[in-house]
Amino acid sequence: MPRPIQASIDLAALRNNLAVARRAAPHARTFAVIKANAYGHGLMRSARAFAAADGFAILEIDNAVRLREAGYRQPILLLEGVFDCHELRAAAEHGFACAIHDPEQLGLLKALPGGARIDVFVKLNTGMNRLGIVPRMLQGVMAALRAEAQVRSLTLMTHFACADDDRGIGEQWQRFGSATREYRLPCSAANSAAILRHPQAHGDWIRPGIMLYGASPFAGVSAAALGLLPAMTLTSQLIGLQELSPGDAVGYGATFVAQRPMRIGIVACGYADGYPRHAPTGTPVLVAGVRTGTLGRISMDMLCVDLTGIPQADRGSPVTLWGEGLPADEVASAAGTVSYELFCALAARVPVVERE
Ligand SMILES: *Cc1c(COP(=O)(O)O)cnc(C)c1O
């Protein structure tokens, strides 16, 4: 038997979650965000599951080309635009919409051959201070873009820093409005959190990411409460058992020491599979359907779990690291991270299966 770890991707869950996003913003069109290998879920299978989306948003141009080559004709937005003039030519050739987030990128447009046309998303920095044109530069950039024959259409976009927490989008949305109102152009602003919590910012194109994969964008709200279904379930099995006496330690650094006689299980899953190494003792795990916790440090290929109260657990017992029955959000929170990072970290060595 091969090493028992496996990630299973539920295509019906992906479709359900897209429908939740679309229902939340019935008047907007949807770019399904499939950057980073569709948050670790697999680019092509996710694109297939999201075929009902109006378009795709992605970062890596080579993956955008793969989508076109696979026959997807819908709009594809390059979220960070292009990085050089070769990419810009490829973008025009394949009909990718391009974010422009820096006045420097205007120069690239000159490199397009005469007849080429491109759809441009002008990205404004309204307070995230990562990428984007600051509002006071917008007039100049818009004038330059409108003078370019190569620009087929213009859409205004921004990205929110705190759409998921109590600070919300107020200030950013106001800055966006006052900078863009005069242009009367289509706009795109909402990530998952804003789609679910800030309908005033739905605009013309929403950009759901994490919610499509069945995780919650909000710290205090479960995915289930939002109607989202987990798409990725990471499972493995117990491949070993140990009986500990009081004083016995577990794993590297001997960070866990038994206070009483204990039975523990060894799971075929470690940080080289994408499990977070910083997950502390007590990070939730399901063993034979029963919730328990990790013990000691996560190793490269293994982790240890407490079998107290699970006497039926034995070699070969099924283990769920996250997904169905154990929300990735809870594991992420225990490990001091977010579900985004768990999903994206799923390692290439983990076999992936699909479920309908
Ligand atoms: C990744 C990304 C999104 C999706 O964000 P989620 O929080 O995953 O919904 C939307 N817009 C931009 C610009 C992004 O980079």
In the chain, CATH 2.40.37.10 sits at 232-355
Q: For domain 232-355, which architecture applies?
A: Beta Barrel (2.40)
Q: For domain 11-215, which architecture applies?
A: Alpha-Beta Barrel (3.20)
Distance of CA 19 to the CA centre of its chain: 17
- What are the angstrom distances between the C-alpha of 19 and each of 39, 52, 211? 18, 9, 11
pLDDT over threshold 90, residue 1:
no
Q: For residue 152, report the distance from its CA to the centre of ligand 1, in Å.
A: 24
pLDDT over threshold 90, residue 340:
yes
**Cα end-to-end distance, the chain, whole Å:** 25
User: Which residues are the active-site residues?
Assistant: 35, 252
Q: Are 124 and 132 in contact (CB under 8 A)?
A: yes
Q: What tokens were used for 152?
A: 């087929």
Q: For residue 79, report the distance from its CA to the centre of ligand 1, in Å.
A: 9
Count other Cβ atoms within 10 Å, centred on residue 131.
16
Q: Are 118 and 111 in contact (CB under 8 A)?
A: no
Report the nearest atom of ligand 1 relative to the CA of 340: 8
Q: Which residue has the tokens 């965000």?
A: 33
Probe ligand 1: pick from 191, 343, 344, max atoms within 8 Å of CB?
A: 191
Q: Which residue has the tokens 């996560």?
A: 298
Q: Which residue has the tokens 């099924």?
A: 318
Probe ligand 1: pick from 34, 56, 77, 159, max atoms within 8 Å of CB?
A: 159
What are the tens digits of pLDDT across the range 135-191?
Answer: 999 999 999 999 999 999 999 999 999 999 999 999 999 999 999 999 999 999 999
271: closest CA among 257, 290, 251, 292? 251
What are the tens digits of pLDDT across the range 193-222?
Answer: 999 999 999 999 999 999 999 999 999 999
| Region of 16 on the Ramachandran plot (φ > 0 left; ψ -120 to 50 alpha; else beta) | alpha
pLDDT over threshold 90, residue 224:
yes
- The pTM is what? 0.96
